Amino acid sequence: MTVATEWVEDHFVAGDVVLDFANTVYRRWPRMGSDLFTNAESLSSWLERAGLLPHSNGVLPPAGEETLEEARALRATLWLVFDAQRERRSIPPDAFSALLDVARRLGEHVTVDADGDMTARDPQSAIGALALGAISLVLDPPQQGVRACDACGWFFVDSSRGRRRRWCSMKTCGNQAKVDRYRAARA
Ligand SMILES: [Zn+2]
């Protein structure tokens, strides 16, 4: 049996929920790391933690295996889309069209409040809401652009003042880089 990932603050450092969703693998490079969506339960709990599903007090609407596969496919699409965006390339048409397909399945199962925040009734609709969020991020990119961590490839929006953020998080990759530099200097 697989153990569901325990989500912590450090999994939500991208500055945008869509990019946090794209960052649900341990690392994207230099080698692909393990999938943090270890099972359907970890997907539901991620969606709840991200605020896309209402708080359930431990009784989550189950995400089926099919929804888990959809989530993984959407995540792969997001990598194509946001790698293109951050490299200043056109968004691959197939990938953009895949986002539209997923977003179309939203139906009436999503509530959008006046601030534009979306809450879904079930995991599948929440996936649709993420696709819609991705479309909005593609069409109206943040001024500072989407970037990726030098060390692990996680995406983030750089809202630091000097716009020199290189790491997904100072606590993890940034700190590791500091340690590596220190070791290199003493070698
Ligand atoms: Zn990183």
Task: Provide the residue ranges of all domains of the chain, joining segments of one domain with +.
Answer: 9-186
Q: Which CATH architecture has domain 9-186?
A: Orthogonal Bundle (1.10)
Residue 35's beta-bridge partner residues? 25
Q: Which two tokens stand for residue 161?
A: 């003042």
Between the CA of 26 and the centroid of ligand 1 the distance, in Å, is: 9
Ion ligand 1 residue ranges (Cβ < 5 Å): 149, 151-152, 154, 168, 173
Q: Which amino acid is at 27?
A: R
Look at residue 55 in the predicted model and tell me its pLDDT: 85
Q: Which residue matches tokens 């989530």?
A: 71
What would the pLDDT profile of 121-165 be if each residue is shown by its tens digit? Answer: 999 999 999 999 999 999 999 988 899 999 999 999 988 888 889
Q: Which two tokens stand for residue 25?
A: 């693998």
Most distant pair of Cα atoms in the chain: their distance: 61
Q: 52: helix, coil or strand?
A: coil
Sheet strands (E) in 45-112:
110-112
What would the pLDDT profile of 57-106 be if each residue is shown by its tens digit? Answer: 767 777 899 999 999 999 999 999 999 999 999 999 999 999 999 999 87
Look at residue 152 in the predicted model and tell me its pLDDT: 97
Between the CA of 100 and the centroid of ligand 1 the distance, in Å, is: 29
